[in-house]
Structure 1
C-alpha cells in the first residue's frame, strides 16, 4: 500500500522526469521539493514505489523513472488539469472561429492541438454512418454541366461536377432539386442511396435520363467516405521525441498513417463530451503502439453524434497539460460546430 507521501513522491518523479528526461534520485527530490524529510526517508518511499512497480531503475545505481503503471496512477489520481491561460483560450476561440466549413475546422483543430501539446494531434470525423441528408443543391455551371452538392446534418459537404448527356435549363433543375430534397431530406445515408436508385421512375419519361444521371452522382456522394477517418497533424513532434522510444519510431508512424489501428483504439476509449481519457504504454500493445500514450476526449457534431479528438506521443509526456488542452479544444470544437 502506497502512503500519501509516497504518492506525492511519485508525482514529483513523473513531473521531473517528463521535464528533464533524466532519471530522478532521492537527493534531487529533497533539493527540489519541500517534503521536510531526509533523503533516506525519500529513498524508503522510492523503494516501496519500486516494489509496487510504479517506478524502475533504467540503470544500476541510477535514479528512477516512472513505469507505465506509475503513469497510470499519476493520470488516475495525481494529474492536476491546470486550466488553460486566458491567452490560450483566446487563441482557441479565435483560430477555430475563423473556420469556413467542417473540413476547415477539423484541419484547424489538429494544427492548434498539435501546437498546444507538442504531440501528434488526431481528430475523428463525425461518423457519416449515422448522418442524415440535410439538403441537396444542384448548381448549373453550363447547360450540360451541373455541380451536385450533398450537405449532411453533421456538417459534411460533398460536391462534384456532372456532365449531362443533354442540356437542362434552370427551371427543370429547380424542379428536380425540389423533388429530390422532398424525397431525401432527413434520410439516413443508406436510405438516401436506396431512394436514389429508383428516383428516376417518379419523373416523366422525358426527364428520366437527366434524373438518372444526377441520381448516380448523388448516390456516389452520399456513400462516399462513410467509413470513419482521422485528420492528423504534428508527426514532426513524434520525430523530435525519438529518444523516448527504445526501438524505431517507424512502426508508430506507420500506425498513424494506416489509421485503422488508431480508429479501433479510439472506439475502445470513453467518448463522453467534456471527459478526458488516456491509454498508456502497454495498454496499447494490441494496436502496435506499446510505447505510446493516447489522450482523448469527445466532441459533439451538429448531427448529435459524438466523435473523438486527442493526442498521441511517447509515454513520457506532460499528461496534465495535454489532458487540459484536449478537454478545452474538444469543448470549443463542440461549441463551434453547434453554432454552425
Structure 2
C-alpha cells in the first residue's frame, strides 16, 4: 500500500467527517473523491489506517472517523493555510480599525473571531512583561502625590500613584519626566535595572530618590501577575456542536471558566515555532478539553515579537484549514493595529 495514497484516504475521511459529522465508508470515498482506486483497495487502506490508530470505528457500521492522531497527521500535512477572501480581509480590517483603545480592540477581536469561526474565541491581553515601554508620564495630583502613567507599545495603559517624601516641585517633575522619556522608551522590564545609577551627579539626593521610586513603581507594575488575563466570546457556539462531545458540554464549559487552564495552554503553545499552533484532544492535557481542539496564533509588537495569543476552541471535528486561516488573519490585523 502506498503511504501517500493512505494519507490521501485519511485526508478524505477527515474532510468528509468534518463536513457531514457522519462516519465515512469506502463507498462514499469512491463517490466523493478521485482516489483512482477501487472500493476494495480503499477498504484495505482504511484497515491499515485503523491499525495505525489514525481512524476508528465508533460502532458496528462500516464507517470510520478520525482519531486525535489522525487529525494531528492531517494538520501537520497541511502545506498551506488557505488565505481569506478579499471581502473577508476588508471586513476584518474595517471592524478592527474602528476600535478606540486596547480594551475595544480586544473586545472587537474576540467577538469577530467567534463569528467567523463559529467556535469559542479567546484573546489574551498583551503581557506587560513581554511588552516594550513607549512612554512614562508623571502627573502631580496633589502636594505630595504623583500619578505614574505607563503606556506600552501594544496600547496597554496602567496608572499608579505614589506618595513623595516632600512637596513636589513642578520643575523637578518636568526634569524627571524628560529623563524617563529619554531613557525608558523602547525598553523592556529586564532593561530597567540600573537605569538611574549613572544620574547621581544630575540630581540631588531627594530628587534621585524620587526617580528611583518612580522606576520601582514601573518595575512592580510590569511584574504583576494580575495582568495575565484572557477574554472569551462565542461559548454559545458549542451548543451547535453538542453531539461532538463524548460526555456533555459541562466539562468543556467548566474548563473554559478556569482562566488558569487557558493561560497554561496559551503559554505552552507560545513555545511552538509555528505561526499557527494546534492542540488536538488529549494534547490539551486537560480532562475537560479532550473533545476539543485549540488553534492559536501569536500577535506582536513593532518588532514582530509575540506578546500574546489569539485563538479558537471547538470540537476536534472542526474545519482546521479555515479556522487556522482565520485565527492567523485576526492575529496579523491585531499586530498591525497595535503597532500602528
TM range (shorter): 0.7 to 0.9
1:266 aligns with 2:278: no
Structure 1 residue 73, shift from structure 2 partner: 1.3
Kindly tell me: are residues 179 and 7 of structure 1, through their superposed partners in 2, closer, same or farther at Cα, counting changes over 3 Å?
closer
Residues 108-123 of structure 1 correspond to what in structure 2 (within 5 A)? 108-123=108-123
Q: Distance in 1 between matches of 2:135 and 2:180?
A: 9
- Larger displacement relative to structure 2 (76-85 or 116-125): 76-85
How far did residue 306 of structure 1 move?
A: 1.1
Provide the aligned C-alpha RMSD in A. Answer: 3.8
Please list the CA deviations of residues 110-149 of structure 1 after superposition, one character each: whole Å capped at 9, or x if unmatched.
2222111111122223332233433222457799987642
Give deviations 1:66-107, integer Å, cap 9, x for gaps: 111111111112576222111111111112222223332222
In 2: Cα distance, 1:173 partner to 1:113 partner: 44
User: What does 1:268-307 correspond to in 2, within 5 Å?
Assistant: 268-269=268-269, 275-286=275-286, 288-302=288-302, 305-307=305-307
Q: With structure 2 as the length reference, what TM-score do the two structures score?
A: 0.80
SS of residue matched to 1:151: strand
Measure the CA separation in 1 of the matches of 2:224 and 2:211.
Answer: 20
Does residue 58 of structure 1 match 2:40? no
Change (3 A) 1:164 1:267: closer
- Equivalent runs, 1:70-89 vs 2, <5 Å: 70-78=70-78, 81-89=81-89
2:234 maps to 234
C-alpha deviation, 1:49, in angstroms: 1.8
> Could you say if the C-alpha distance between residues 26 and 215 of structure 1 is closer, same or farther in structure 2, counting changes exceeding 3 Å?
closer
**Residues in 1 aligned to 2:107 and 2:160: alpha-carbon distance in whole angstroms:** 21
Q: Secondary structure at the match of 1:13?
A: helix
- In the TM superposition, what is the alpha-carbon distance from 1:164 to its structure 2 partner? 10
Q: Which residue of 2 aligns with 1:330?
A: 331
| Deviation of 1:290 (Å) | 1.8
Structure 2 Cα separation of the partners of residues 51 and 219 of structure 1 = 56
Given the superposition, is the C-alpha separation of residues 44 and 169 from structure 1 closer, same or farther in structure 2, using an over 3 Å criterion? same
Name which of structure 1's ranges 324-333 and 132-141 shifts more when overlaid on structure 2.
132-141
Distance in 2 (alpha carbons) for counterparts of 1:265 and 1:104: 24
SS of the residue 1:313 aligns to: strand
* Residues 276-301 of structure 1: per-residue CA shift (max 9 Å, x gap): 22111122235752221111222222
Q: Do the aligned partners of 1:273 and 1:297 also contact (CA within 8 Å) in 2?
A: no
Is contact 1:137-1:150 (8 Å) kept? yes
Equivalent residue of 1:63, what SS?
coil
Deviates more, 1:88-97 or 1:136-145: 136-145
The answer to whether the 8 A contact 1:131-1:303 is kept is no
Q: Tell me by how many angstroms 1:322 deviates.
A: 0.7
CA distance 1:74–1:223, shift in 2 (3 Å): closer
Give the TM-score of the pair, scaled to structure 1: 0.80
Q: Matched residues in 1 for 2:80 and 2:252: separation?
A: 28
Instruction: Sort the Cα spacing of 1:9 and 1:188 in 2 relative to 1 into closer, same or farther, 3 A.
Output: closer
Q: Counterpart of 1:316 in 2: which secondary structure? A: coil
In structure 1, runs of 5+ residues without a counterpart are none
